[in-house]
Chain A
Amino acid sequence: MKSLLLLNGSPRGERSNSMKMLRRVAEGWERGDGSAPEALHLARKAEFDRAVAAFAGADVVLLGLPLYTDSMPALVKTYIEALAPRVAVRENPTLAFLVQSGFPEARHSRPLERYLEKLARRLGSPYAGTIVRGGGEALQMMPDEANKKLWARLHVLGEQLARSGRFGENELAAISGTERFSPVAAALLSVACKLPITQFYWNMQLKKNGAWERRFAAPYGPALR
């Protein structure tokens, strides 16, 4: 049995969308391999240090992270910088990644995916692939039942990682969904974005926090509206 180090790179820690998805991949891994992964949150200082120390000893490292301003969160870059001494070693664990973003199209996450693939090469690590999944914030709104299909896909990917050391290309393509919208879909979405239902998630929270009146506040310069 191989060892899997499961790293959650979300600053939100346990309650993050990244962790919800990572757990399903880990379940799939256990089905395929049987060994229980060690799971660590980079957002917790002690676990961050453990994640640096445990990196070299793992067979496979699966790092999950949210897209933050179109790249990795600073927390994840801090972790990657801590791996710098491993570059010279050239014998490092297989690297697998999961990038989740709030944008519905996969397009937004592709530059980060290219970075992660290069990171594996930089470390001399076999590259297992990157799961790219958009629409992440919707996970916070939906009951777990509604995400059954997504969970099933993540299970399959986890099992593939355990059995072959790689994610399947067809499965990666299927889970990332829409790469970019067609002109017709974009026009429809443009209308949909203006409908109250698509604003509901944010408006509800603004109102709950008593911040509704200040929702367009522009404290540092002229506002758009």
Chain B
Amino acid sequence: MRITILNGEPESASNFQEYLSDVARRLASSGHAITTLNLRELDLKGCSGCFGCWVKTPGECAKRDDSAHICRAAIAADLLLLASPMTMGFTTALLKHAADQMIGLLLPNFEIEKGEVHHRARYAHYPNFGLLLGAGGDSDAEDIAITTEMWARMARNMKTRMAFTALASRSAQEVADEIAAAA
């Protein structure tokens, strides 16, 4: 399975970073093709709502920053693992920067899907989504549920589904197994 990890941890040295690296190593050693993008190392200019990716340079962010790497790695994957510590009840702003700049993966035009208005697909295939959350600090079960719900809505808009929400409080091997099972 091709797995792209979007790592939304802002710190290079942290418990969550160590844990995520451990999970990635375990997945790689059992034969999965892992691409990890440490978002903190990328040049992301952020979405300014210009809709350039819809009406100026269709499919590409008009800002020509590293968001192209994110979009390419996402579309090439079977599973997109959204990995982030929880801060203020949600995944980090860093991870959200990546998501905001993925809107060009869809067309601007609407269609009706299962009774709801959604954007039309640009690509033939979209990866399943999975969430890996470092649920420390003041985050509780309600925060995890709300966070899952928002990302699951994005998955639905991206013509795919949220395969799982895993918590970094479990062992790295257990979580690696769950991720592998989501193929």
Residues of A that sit less than 8 Å from B by CB: 10-12, 16, 43, 66, 68-75, 77-78, 80-81, 83-84, 87, 103-105, 107-108, 111-112, 114-115, 118-119, 122, 180-181, 183, 186-187, 189-190, 193, 198-199, 202, 205-206, 209, 211, 214-224
Pick from A71, A104, A193, A209: contact of B96, CB below 8 A: A71
A89–B6 alpha-carbon span in the complex (Å): 33
In the complex, are the beta carbons of B96 and A74 less than 8 A apart? yes
In the complex, what's the smallest C-beta–C-beta distance from B67 to chain A, in angstroms? 11
Give the number of residues in B that approach A within 8 Å (Cβ atoms): 59
In the complex, what's the smallest C-beta–C-beta distance from A194 to chain B, in angstroms? 8
Q: List 13 A-B contacts (CB under 8 A).
A: A72-B96, A77-B93, A111-B150, A122-B138, A214-B58, A214-B59, A216-B58, A217-B59, A220-B59, A220-B105, A221-B75, A221-B76, A223-B123
A72–B154 alpha-carbon span in the complex (Å): 12
Q: What 0/1 pattern do residues 63 to 94 of B give for CB contact below 8 A with A?
A: 00000100110111000000000011110111
Residues of B that sit less than 8 Å from A by CB: 46-51, 54-60, 68, 71-72, 74-76, 87-90, 92-94, 96-97, 99-100, 102-103, 105, 107-112, 115-118, 121-125, 138, 142-143, 146-147, 149-151, 153-154, 157
In the complex, what's the smallest C-beta–C-beta distance from A219 to chain B, in angstroms? 5
Specify which chain A residues have a CB less than 8 angstroms from the CB of B125 in the assembled complex: 221-222
In the complex, are the beta carbons of A78 and B99 less than 8 A apart? no
A211–B109 alpha-carbon span in the complex (Å): 15
In the complex, are the beta carbons of B117 and A70 less than 8 A apart? no
In the complex, are the beta carbons of A193 and B76 less than 8 A apart? no
Pick from B46, B102, B111, B142: contact of A193, CB below 8 A: B111
In the complex, what's the smallest C-beta–C-beta distance from B106 to chain A, in angstroms? 9
Specify which chain B residues have a CB less than 8 angstroms from the CB of A43 in the assembled complex: 48
Given contacts A115-B146, A218-B59, contact A71 B154 (CB under 8 A): yes
Pick from A71, A180, A198: contact of B90, CB below 8 A: A71
Which residue of A is nearest B112, CB measured?
A190
A190–B114 alpha-carbon span in the complex (Å): 10
Q: Which 3 A-B pairs have the closest CB atoms?
A: A70-B153, A221-B75, A77-B93
Other A-B pairs, 16, CB within 8 Å; known A11-B46, A77-B96, A202-B55: A11-B47, A69-B154, A70-B153, A73-B47, A81-B87, A84-B88, A105-B117, A193-B110, A205-B54, A218-B59, A218-B122, A219-B59, A220-B74, A220-B75, A220-B105, A222-B123
Specify which chain A residues have a CB less than 8 angstroms from the CB of B58 in the assembled complex: 206, 211, 214-217
Pick from B49, B93, B110: contact of A198, CB below 8 A: B110
Specify which chain B residues have a CB less than 8 angstroms from the CB of A122 in the assembled complex: 88-89, 138
In the complex, are the beta carbons of B89 and A221 less than 8 A apart? no
Specify which chain A residues have a CB less than 8 angstroms from the CB of B49 in the assembled complex: 10-12, 16, 66, 68, 73
In the complex, are the beta carbons of A111 and B88 less than 8 A apart? no
In the complex, what's the smallest C-beta–C-beta distance from B102 to chain A, in angstroms? 7
In the complex, are the beta carbons of A83 and B88 less than 8 A apart? yes
Specify which chain B residues have a CB less than 8 angstroms from the CB of A66 in the assembled complex: 49
